Amino acid sequence: MNHQKSRLGLAVLALSLSVTPALASGQAPSLRTLASARGLLLGGAISGELFNADNPDEAATINREYNAVVAENAMKMRAIANSPDPDNYLFATADAMVASAQKNGQTVRGHTLIWHDSAPAWVYEIQEKTAMRAAMTQYITTVVKHFGNRINIWDVVNEAISDGPGNPLRNNNPFAVAGPDFIALAFRMAHAANPAARLCYNDYSVEGLNGKSNAMYALVKGLLADGVPIHGVGFQSHLDTNFSVRDSGMQANLQRFRDLGLDVQLTEVDVQMVGSGSEKEKLARQAQVYGELLSTCLAVKCSAFMMWGVSDLTSWRAGGKPLIFDGDYVKKPAYGALIKVLQTAGK
């Protein structure tokens, strides 16, 4: 009898250790609880709304559901380096976001060091190769060292590949003045400033097998062959409800980057609701796409699933209601789809 009792006790102990605290207390598990149990970074972009006293739901939702965050704008060059003088760099907003993340146990993805879109006016005035290399080196070194080990994942170069036919590098990139190796230079400088950081190339419209993802594959393969310290690729995944994970060849595409030994991260997921049908049908289709994106990510052992925002209220493309919380921070069907995948995928 005693023996039986102790066996029962062990079984109960094993059961209690195998369930999450949220489940044990009867609450629904959060995304972050389930993602953390899988070693997956799951979260999203945070904006100034995080500190908006009129919108306490924003911070509450981020901290309840996300184990990782990324600044939507506060770490872009235009936000930090309005002036080329590092003594005048503006870190206050980014530092406040990092402090909030640390307080709430969240990993921070750094976004982004070199991006044509966020380059301040003074960058465009530099027309000489040596001067541009010096400017890039100073900016990257100062910023990466400023955050130090508070940020150990960086989007080093963002959106360098053209959308045009043939998909070479875009021709409106001011940093190209630094020479054809400006991408390699950026990665080398970031690595020198923080050797512990995972360094990523990040782009959009590269989720499936297509000309642009082929160009990205050639780019990163070439960087690896040249010994450039690149560790991962970010697939932004700004999509809509017409996107087909299967028809686009997304899993095969992600897998070929994994086969190069790179981290694969979905970095800016949002799925706009488009097309005809009732609101209910569109919400269901959106949930299906979200679920398939996360399943595919997990199938290739991705390391992050980041969404571009929190709620449809504050999304950069709010009109398309692309996120998993509605304008009142109520969970949409897409939220449930992510929970279900985290609970069941591979089990």
Exactly one of 49, 159, 207, 292 is catalytic; name it: 159
Work out whether 117 is an interface residue with ligand G3I (CB under 6 A): yes
- DSSP code per residue over 7-38: HHHHHHHHHHHHS-HHHHTTPPPPHHHHHHHT
Q: If we measure between CA atoms, which residue out of 105, 183, 193, 213 comes closest to residue 145? A: 193
Work out whether 316 is an interface residue with ligand G3I (CB under 6 A): yes
Residue 279 among the catalytic residues? no
Whether the Cβ atoms of residue 216 and residue 201 lie closer than 8 Å to each other: yes
- Alpha-carbon distance of 87 to 80, in angstroms, equals 11
Whether the Cβ atoms of residue 204 and residue 161 lie closer than 8 Å to each other: no
* Minimum distance, C-beta of residue 20 to ligand G3I, in the bound complex (Å): 32
Binding ligand G3I by CB under 6 A: which of 30, 55, 67, 118? Answer: 118
Task: Pick the stretch among 69-77, 101-109, 166-174, 186-194 that binds ligand G3I (CB under 6 A).
Answer: 69-77
* C-alpha dist (Å) from residue 125 to 89, 121, 131: 18, 7, 10
- Alpha-carbon distance of 295 to 28, in angstroms, equals 20
* C-alpha dist (Å) from residue 26 to 20, 22, 29, 47: 10, 6, 9, 32
* Minimum distance, C-beta of residue 73 to ligand G3I, in the bound complex (Å): 5
Whether the Cβ atoms of residue 202 and residue 236 lie closer than 8 Å to each other: yes
Residue 49 among the catalytic residues? no
Nearer to ligand G3I, 158 or 286 (CB): 158
Nearer to ligand G3I, 76 or 282 (CB): 76
Please report how many Cα atoms fall inside a 13 Å half-sphere around the Cα of residue 211, on the Cβ side. 9
Whether the Cβ atoms of residue 213 and residue 182 lie closer than 8 Å to each other: no
CB atoms within 10 A of CB 76: 20
Nearer to ligand G3I, 55 or 158 (CB): 158
* Minimum distance, C-beta of residue 234 to ligand G3I, in the bound complex (Å): 9
Work out whether 265 is an interface residue with ligand G3I (CB under 6 A): no
Work out whether 30 is an interface residue with ligand G3I (CB under 6 A): no
Exactly one of 49, 58, 72, 268 is catalytic; name it: 268
Work out whether 73 is an interface residue with ligand G3I (CB under 6 A): yes
Nearer to ligand G3I, 33 or 205 (CB): 205
* Minimum distance, C-beta of residue 169 to ligand G3I, in the bound complex (Å): 17
Binding ligand G3I by CB under 6 A: which of 194, 205, 236, 241? Answer: 236
> Kind of pairing, strands 153-158 and 238-240?
unpaired
Work out whether 128 is an interface residue with ligand G3I (CB under 6 A): no
Work out whether 163 is an interface residue with ligand G3I (CB under 6 A): no
Binding ligand G3I by CB under 6 A: which of 72, 207, 263, 312? Answer: 72
Count of chain residues binding ligand G3I (CB under 6 A): 10
State the catalytic residues.
Answer: 159, 268
Q: Which residues bind ligand G3I (CB under 6 A)?
A: 72-73, 76, 117-118, 158, 204, 236, 268, 316
